[in-house]
């Protein structure tokens, strides 16, 4: 086993990894960028190192991070999500320097990081994909011809994309040309890769993804699925495990397909195979994320399996003890992404100081947070400040418990998505499982929520009223 794990990330996922290391008795080293010096992950780790002034010199500098490992005697790196997690350079540098990368091989990352290579690979493994272009598409005429063949609407997608960026829907040929230019420009800006391709736009699908665990000896299993259909602009807001839609037969079929996808690239460690499921029960592979995923917590809660601990054990060469038939799903879990954003103003990101912070608790409540009272949210980074994961024995209990926990959650000084999320989980459609990836677009009235007072705030008002009344 490793002696010291360097966590090449920040925020809640850095804390999540440090917690797993703590439980395993492993020393941890955090890294941080100058403007991030108040961040919580620095305090949670055994050691912390300043790696640069900003995100690029800090969390994105693979060479600096590997050199640091050598200097401080760290023998493994966990990349978390975002940043360097899907950059094949980091595992390659690790390999050259005798450090273990806690993740898949650079080859598997490179193959799945290119959505066209990924699609071609899974087609060979007999897994259905969304009809579309066979490769990248540049030529406008060629694109229009193909779109007419597969039928509008179509989706233009960035080949090297991720995080919901570089995606555009087109209803006709003039929109298609605009979409191609816009997607390509956005992809070049965000990922440095302008390549795009075309796919049939699946109407009102569910986003269903399977959590994979694979060791270095070819043992590959899945931990069931997550429904991540509650999205805004192709970015996930709420995730659920298990899906309310899948029959045991479909779960087995899609789970087997996900395992075949992983095996097709000799995958080892944790990964996620993403599918779209249409109204007729047809499923299509869309991509594989070769890293830990934000919403892994819902899977942990319903299976009881510590995914991050498994990642570390697998990387150290341990054989997977868990067998497919041992994976049992108990009850339901819902994860809500608490973002520092103002939903009423187009989800504008919020920076600033948190003047008060009260998190919920009680039965079935898990928080993976990164903020505290007095913390100033810096710009530059993701706006997600905490994840609330709630579990229950039935769907109804879980949804009602999630609403209760959100009502207890109070973050002051900044705008957050808490009230908006409360409105969603209390809505009739959410409760009845009647949602697709179009849910937020189709229900704009959800944005008319009133900022609710948390119980804590109410207590404050009451106590100040009493104080005023008694002349204190």
Partner from ligand ADP, Mg ion, none binding residue 343, C-beta < 5-8 Å depending on class: none
To ligand ADP, the closest distance from the beta carbon of 264 in angstroms equals 18
Positions 272 through 291 that interact with Mg ion (CB under 5 A): 274
To Mg ion, the closest distance from the beta carbon of 437 in angstroms equals 11
Separation of alpha carbons 358 and 210, rounded Å = 33
36 vs 287 by CB, closer to Mg ion: 287
DSSP letters for 167-200 = EEEESSHHHHHHHHHHHHHHHHHHHS---EEEEE
Separation of alpha carbons 258 and 245, rounded Å = 17
Q: Which two tokens stand for residue 174?
A: 């003039």
To ligand ADP, the closest distance from the beta carbon of 11 in angstroms equals 9
Separation of alpha carbons 161 and 163, rounded Å = 7
Partner from ligand ADP, Mg ion, none binding residue 439, C-beta < 5-8 Å depending on class: none
Residues 320 and 305 sit within 8 Å (Cβ to Cβ): no
Q: Which two tokens stand for residue 327?
A: 């994976």
Q: For residue 180, which of 206, 207, 146 has the smallest C-alpha distance?
A: 146
Identify whether 291 is a catalytic site residue.
yes
To ligand ADP, the closest distance from the beta carbon of 261 in angstroms equals 14
Where on the phi/psi map is residue 129: left (φ > 0), alpha (ψ -120 to 50), or beta? beta
Residues 430 and 424 sit within 8 Å (Cβ to Cβ): yes
Q: Which two tokens stand for residue 213?
A: 């665990």
- Closest residue to ligand ADP, Cβ-based? 162
End-to-end Cα, the chain, rounded Å? 60
CA atoms within 13 A on the CB side of 245: 25
383 vs 416 by CB, closer to ligand ADP: 383
Partner from Mg ion, ligand ADP, none binding residue 201, C-beta < 5-8 Å depending on class: ligand ADP
To Mg ion, the closest distance from the beta carbon of 116 in angstroms equals 15
CB burial of 14-28 (b: ≥16 within 10 Å; e: otherwise) equals: bbbbbbbbeebebbb
Partner from ligand ADP, Mg ion, none binding residue 223, C-beta < 5-8 Å depending on class: none
User: Pick the catalytic residue: 16, 232, 291, 401?
Assistant: 291
186 vs 274 by CB, closer to Mg ion: 274
Residues 327 and 241 sit within 8 Å (Cβ to Cβ): no
155 vs 301 by CB, closer to ligand ADP: 155
Separation of alpha carbons 357 and 374, rounded Å = 9
Positions 214 through 243 that interact with Mg ion (CB under 5 A): none
Q: Residue 28: in which H helix or E strand, if any?
A: strand 27-33
Partner from Mg ion, ligand ADP, none binding residue 300, C-beta < 5-8 Å depending on class: none
Residues 285 and 254 sit within 8 Å (Cβ to Cβ): no
Residues 11 and 370 sit within 8 Å (Cβ to Cβ): yes
To ligand ADP, the closest distance from the beta carbon of 148 in angstroms equals 17
238 vs 276 by CB, closer to ligand ADP: 276
326 vs 442 by CB, closer to ligand ADP: 442
Partner from Mg ion, ligand ADP, none binding residue 313, C-beta < 5-8 Å depending on class: none
Positions 53 through 112 that interact with Mg ion (CB under 5 A): none
* Interface contacts to ligand ADP, rule CB under 6 A: 81-82, 86, 130, 155, 161-164, 167, 191, 199, 201-202, 205, 207, 231, 234-236, 274, 276, 286-287, 289, 293-295, 382, 437
Extended strands (E) in 103-219 = 154-158, 167-170, 196-200, 206-214
93 vs 110 by CB, closer to ligand ADP: 110
Q: With contacts defined by CB under 5 A, how many residues of the chain interact with Mg ion? A: 1
Partner from Mg ion, ligand ADP, none binding residue 91, C-beta < 5-8 Å depending on class: none
Q: Which two tokens stand for residue 250?
A: 């479909």
To ligand ADP, the closest distance from the beta carbon of 287 in angstroms equals 5
Binding site for Mg ion (CB under 5 A): 274
Which residues have a catalytic role annotated? 291
């Amino acid at each position: 086993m490793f002696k010291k794990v360097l966590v090449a990330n920040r925020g809640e996922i850095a804390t999540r990894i440090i917690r797993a290391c703590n439980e395993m008795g492993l020393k941890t080293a955090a890294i941080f960028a100058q403007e991030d010096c108040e961040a919580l992950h620095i305090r949670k780790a055994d050691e912390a190192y300043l790696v640069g002034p900003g995100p690029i010199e800090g969390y994105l500098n693979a060479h600096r991070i590997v050199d640091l490992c050598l200097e401080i005697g760290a023998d493994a790196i966990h990349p978390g999500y975002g940043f360097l997690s899907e950059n094949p350079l980091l595992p390659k540098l690790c390999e050259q320097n005798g450090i273990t990368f806690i993740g898949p091989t650079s080859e598997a990352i490179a193959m799945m990081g290119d959505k066209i290579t990924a699609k071609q690979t899974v087609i060979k493994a007999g897994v259905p994909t969304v009809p579309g272009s066979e490769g990248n598409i540049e030529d406008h005429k060629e694109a229009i011809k193909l779109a007419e063949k597969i039928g509008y609407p179509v989706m233009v997608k960035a080949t090297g994309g991720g995080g919901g960026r570089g995606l555009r829907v087109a209803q006709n040929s003039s929109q298609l040309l605009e979409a191609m230019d816009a997607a390509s420009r956005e992809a070049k800006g965000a990922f440095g890769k302008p390549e795009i391709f075309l796919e049939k736009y699946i109407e009102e699908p569910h986003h269903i993804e399977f959590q994979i665990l694979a060791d270095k000896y070819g043992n590959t299993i899945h931990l069931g699925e997550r429904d991540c259909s509650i999205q805004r602009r192709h970015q996930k807001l709420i995730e659920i495990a298990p899906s309310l839609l899948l029959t045991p037969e479909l779960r087995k079929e899609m789970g087997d397909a996900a395992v075949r996808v992983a095996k097709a690239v000799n995958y080892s460690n944790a990964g996620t195979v993403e599918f779209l499921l249409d109204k007729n029960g047809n499923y299509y592979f869309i991509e594989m994320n070769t890293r830990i995923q934000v919403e892994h917590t819902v899977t942990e809660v319903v299976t009881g399996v510590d995914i991050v601990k498994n990642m570390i054990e697998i990387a150290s060469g341990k054989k997977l003890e868990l067998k497919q038939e041992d994976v049992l799903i108990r009850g339901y879990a819902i994860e809500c992404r608490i973002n520092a954003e103002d939903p009423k103003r187009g989800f504008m990101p919020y920076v600033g100081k948190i003047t008060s912070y009260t998190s919920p608790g009680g039965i079935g409540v898990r928080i993976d947070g990164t903020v505290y009272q007095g913390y100033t949210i810096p710009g530059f980074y993701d706006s997600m400040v905490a994840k609330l994961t709630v579990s229950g024995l039935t769907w109804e209990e879980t949804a009602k418990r999630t609403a209760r926990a959100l009502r207890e959650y109070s973050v002051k000084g900044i705008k957050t998505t808490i009230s908006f999320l409360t409105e969603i989980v209390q809505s009739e459609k959410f409760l009845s499982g009647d949602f697709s990836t179009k849910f937020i677009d189709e229900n704009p009235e959800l944005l008319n929520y009133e900022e609710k007072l948390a119980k804590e705030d109410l207590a404050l008002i009451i106590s100040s009223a009493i104080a005023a009344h008694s002349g204190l």
